[in-house]
Structure 1
Amino acid sequence: MAIPPRLDEAKSPGFSGTAEAGLVAKGRYVAQLGDCVACHTAPGGPEMAGGRALETPFGTIYSTNITPDVQHGIGGWSYAAFDRAMRHGVTAKGHRLYPAMPYPSYAKMSDEDMAALWAYLRQGVPAVAQANQPLGMHFPFDQRWGLAYWDAVFADKTPFVPNPQKDAIWNRGAYLVQGLGHCGACHTPRGIGFQELAMSDLGSKGKLFLSGAQVEHWNAVALRDLWTVPDTVEMLKTGQNRFATASGSMTDVILHSTQHVSDPDLVAIATYLKSLPSDTAKTAAPVAAAPASAAASAAEPPAQLFTSAGGLGYTQFCTDCHRPTGGGVKGVFPALAGNPTVAAQDPATLIHITLTGWKTVSTGAHPRVYTMPAFARLSDAEIAEILSFVRQSWGQGAGPVAAADVAQARQQLDPKVDTSAFETPRLSKLLAEPNAQQLVRGMRLNAETHLLLPKNVGNDLNCTSCHLNAGTVADGSPYVGVSAFFPSYAPRAGKVITIEDRINGCFRRSMNGKPLPPDSDDMKAMVAYFDWMKGNTRKEDKVPGRGVGKVDPKIVPNLANGEKVYGAQCAVCHGQNGEGLKDAAGRTVYPPLWGERSFNIGAGMARTYTAAAFVKRNMPIGFHEKFPLGQGGLSDQDAVDVAEYFTHQDRPDFPDKVKDWPKDPKPKDARY
Structure 2
Amino acid sequence: MEEKTSKGMKRLGTVAAMAAVLAAGVAIWMAVPPKITAKEPDFGASIDPALIRRGKYVAQLGDCVACHTEKGGAEMAGGLALETPMGTIWSTNITPDPKTGIGGWTFGEFDRAMRKGVAADGHNLYPAMPYPSYAKISEEDMTALWAYLTKGLQPVEKANRMAAMNFPFNLRFGLSYWNAVFVDGTPFVPNRSKDEVWNRGAYLVQSLGHCGACHTPRGVGFNEVAMTEKGKSGEQFLAGAKVENWHAVELRDLWTVEDTVQLLKTGQNRFATASGSMTDVILHSTQNFTDDDLVAMATYLKSLPSKNVKPVPPKPVYTSAPETAFNTTGGLGYTQFCNDCHRQDGTGVKGIFPPLAGNPTVASKDPATLIHITLTGWETAATDAHPRTYTMPAFARLHDKEIADILSYVRENWGGGAPAINEAQVAEARRYLDPKIDASTFETPRLAGLLDEPNKDQLVLGMRLNSETNKLLPDHVGNDLNCTSCHLNAGTVADGSPYVGVSAFFPSYASRAGKEITMIDRINGCFRRSMNGQPLKPESKEMVAMLAYFDWMKGETKPEDKVEGRGVGKIDPGLKPDPANGEKIYAAQCAVCHGADGEGLKDAVGRVVYPALWGDRSFNIGAGMARTYTAAAFVKRNMPIGFHEQFPLGQGGLSDQEALDVAEYFSHKPRPDFPDKVKDWPNGGKPKDARY
Task: Determine the C-alpha separation between the residues in 2 that align with 1:156 and 1:527.
Answer: 70
Confirm whether residue 215 of structure 1 aligns to residue 243 of structure 2: yes
Residue 49 of structure 1 corresponds to 77
1:206 positional shift: 0.4
Q: Residue type matched to 1:416 in 2?
A: K
Task: Determine the C-alpha separation between the residues in 1 that align with 2:241 and 2:572.
Answer: 53
1:403 positional shift: 1.1
Task: Determine the C-alpha separation between the residues in 2 that align with 1:582 and 1:162.
Answer: 49
Task: Determine the C-alpha separation between the residues in 2 that align with 1:9 and 1:520.
Answer: 85
CA deviation map 1:491-519 (0-9, x unaligned):
11111111011000000000000000001
1:599 positional shift: 0.5
Residue 360 of structure 2 corresponds to 340
1:18 positional shift: 4.4
1:53 positional shift: 2.4
Q: Residue type matched to 2:171 in 1?
A: Q
- SS class of match (2:235): helix
1:68 positional shift: 1.1
CA deviation map 1:401-423 (0-9, x unaligned):
11111111111111111111111
- SS class of match (2:553): helix
1:178 positional shift: 0.4
Confirm whether residue 12 of structure 1 aligns to residue 41 of structure 2: yes
Residue 301 of structure 2 corresponds to 273
- SS class of match (1:219): strand
After TM superposition, the score normalised by the length of structure 2 is 0.94
Task: Determine the C-alpha separation between the residues in 1 that align with 2:654 and 2:135.
Answer: 50
1:557 positional shift: 1.4
Greater CA deviation, 357-366 or 633-642? 633-642
After TM superposition, the score normalised by the length of structure 1 is 0.96
Q: Residue type matched to 1:201 in 2?
A: E
1:271 positional shift: 0.4
**Equivalent of residue 356 in structure 1, options 364, 376, 396:** 376
Whether the 8 Å CA contact 2:213–2:224 is kept in 1: the answer is yes
Residue 21 of structure 2 corresponds to none
Confirm whether residue 284 of structure 1 aligns to residue 312 of structure 2: yes
Aligned pair in 2 of structure 1 residues 59, 207: CA closer, same or farther (>3 Å)? farther
Residue 93 of structure 2 corresponds to 65
1:369 positional shift: 0.9
Task: Determine the C-alpha separation between the residues in 1 that align with 2:82 and 2:217.
Answer: 17
Whether the 8 Å CA contact 2:39–2:107 is kept in 1: the answer is no
Residue 291 of structure 1 corresponds to none
Q: Residue type matched to 1:107 in 2?
A: A
- SS class of match (2:207): helix
Residue 551 of structure 2 corresponds to 531
1:150-169 equivalence runs, <5 A: 150-169=178-197
Task: Determine the C-alpha separation between the residues in 2 that align with 1:132 and 1:279.
Answer: 45
1:227-626 equivalence runs, <5 A: 227-288=255-316, 297-626=317-646
- SS class of match (1:180): coil
Q: Residue type matched to 1:427 in 2?
A: L
Task: Determine the C-alpha separation between the residues in 1 that align with 2:67 and 2:423.
Answer: 33
Aligned pair in 2 of structure 1 residues 50, 468: CA closer, same or farther (>3 Å)? same
Confirm whether residue 143 of structure 1 aligns to residue 171 of structure 2: yes
Whether the 8 Å CA contact 2:40–2:108 is kept in 1: the answer is no
Whether the 8 Å CA contact 1:201–1:209 is kept in 2: the answer is yes
1:393 positional shift: 1.1
Task: Determine the C-alpha separation between the residues in 1 that align with 2:553 and 2:351.
Answer: 35
Whether the 8 Å CA contact 2:41–2:143 is kept in 1: the answer is no
Q: Residue type matched to 1:114 in 2?
A: M
Aligned residues: 658
Confirm whether residue 129 of structure 1 aligns to residue 157 of structure 2: yes
Residue 210 of structure 2 corresponds to 182
Whether the 8 Å CA contact 2:40–2:107 is kept in 1: the answer is no
Aligned pair in 2 of structure 1 residues 143, 280: CA closer, same or farther (>3 Å)? same
Whether the 8 Å CA contact 2:392–2:649 is kept in 1: the answer is yes
Task: Determine the C-alpha separation between the residues in 1 that align with 2:40 and 2:455.
Answer: 86
Whether the 8 Å CA contact 2:60–2:285 is kept in 1: the answer is yes
Q: Residue type matched to 2:352 in 1?
A: V
CA deviation map 1:475-500 (0-9, x unaligned):
10000000000001111111111101
1:300 positional shift: 2.7
Aligned pair in 2 of structure 1 residues 11, 582: CA closer, same or farther (>3 Å)? closer
Task: Determine the C-alpha separation between the residues in 1 that align with 2:685 and 2:400.
Answer: 51
Residue 29 of structure 2 corresponds to none
Whether the 8 Å CA contact 2:40–2:106 is kept in 1: the answer is no
Q: Residue type matched to 2:542 in 1?
A: D
Task: Determine the C-alpha separation between the residues in 1 that align with 2:605 and 2:251.
Answer: 32
1:219 positional shift: 1.0
CA deviation map 1:168-208 (0-9, x unaligned):
00000000000110000011011121210000000010000
Task: Determine the C-alpha separation between the residues in 2 that align with 1:478 and 1:96.
Answer: 59
Greater CA deviation, 52-61 or 109-118? 52-61
- SS class of match (2:173): helix
Whether the 8 Å CA contact 1:56–1:216 is kept in 2: the answer is no
CA deviation map 1:143-172 (0-9, x unaligned):
111111101111111211111111100000
1:378 positional shift: 0.7
Q: Residue type matched to 1:131 in 2?
A: A
1:101 positional shift: 1.0
Task: Determine the C-alpha separation between the residues in 1 that align with 2:270 and 2:628.
Answer: 38
- SS class of match (2:572): coil
Aligned pair in 2 of structure 1 residues 572, 282: CA closer, same or farther (>3 Å)? same
Greater CA deviation, 60-69 or 166-175? 60-69
Whether the 8 Å CA contact 1:7–1:79 is kept in 2: the answer is no
Whether the 8 Å CA contact 2:216–2:226 is kept in 1: the answer is yes
Whether the 8 Å CA contact 2:245–2:372 is kept in 1: the answer is yes
Task: Determine the C-alpha separation between the residues in 1 that align with 2:398 and 2:42.
Answer: 62
Task: Determine the C-alpha separation between the residues in 2 that align with 1:12 and 1:574.
Answer: 57
1:216 positional shift: 2.2
Percent identical across equivalent pairs?
A: 72
CA deviation map 1:212-261 (0-9, x unaligned):
01222211100000000010000000001110000011011001000000
Q: Residue type matched to 2:470 in 1?
A: H
- SS class of match (1:182): coil
1:10 positional shift: 6.0
Whether the 8 Å CA contact 2:629–2:660 is kept in 1: the answer is yes
1:343 positional shift: 0.4
Task: Determine the C-alpha separation between the residues in 1 that align with 2:146 and 2:682.
Answer: 80
Q: Residue type matched to 1:70 in 2?
A: P
1:268 positional shift: 0.3
Q: Residue type matched to 1:575 in 2?
A: G
Q: Residue type matched to 2:210 in 1?
A: H
Q: Residue type matched to 2:537 in 1?
A: P
- SS class of match (2:324): helix
Whether the 8 Å CA contact 1:609–1:669 is kept in 2: the answer is yes
Task: Determine the C-alpha separation between the residues in 2 that align with 1:8 and 1:190.
Answer: 30
Aligned pair in 2 of structure 1 residues 134, 11: CA closer, same or farther (>3 Å)? closer
Gaps of 5+ in 2: 1-34
Whether the 8 Å CA contact 1:425–1:472 is kept in 2: the answer is yes
Structure 1 segments of 4+ aligned residues over 4 angstroms from their partners: 6-11
CA deviation map 1:585-610 (0-9, x unaligned):
32211000011111000111011110
CA deviation map 1:563-598 (0-9, x unaligned):
111111100000011111111232211000011111
**Equivalent of residue 85 in structure 1, options 108, 113, 117:** 113
Confirm whether residue 638 of structure 1 aligns to residue 667 of structure 2: no
Residue 143 of structure 2 corresponds to 115
Task: Determine the C-alpha separation between the residues in 1 that align with 2:98 and 2:183.
Answer: 29
Whether the 8 Å CA contact 2:217–2:239 is kept in 1: the answer is yes
Gaps of 5+ in 1: 1-5, 289-296
1:553 positional shift: 2.0
Coordinate RMSD, CA, aligned: 1.3
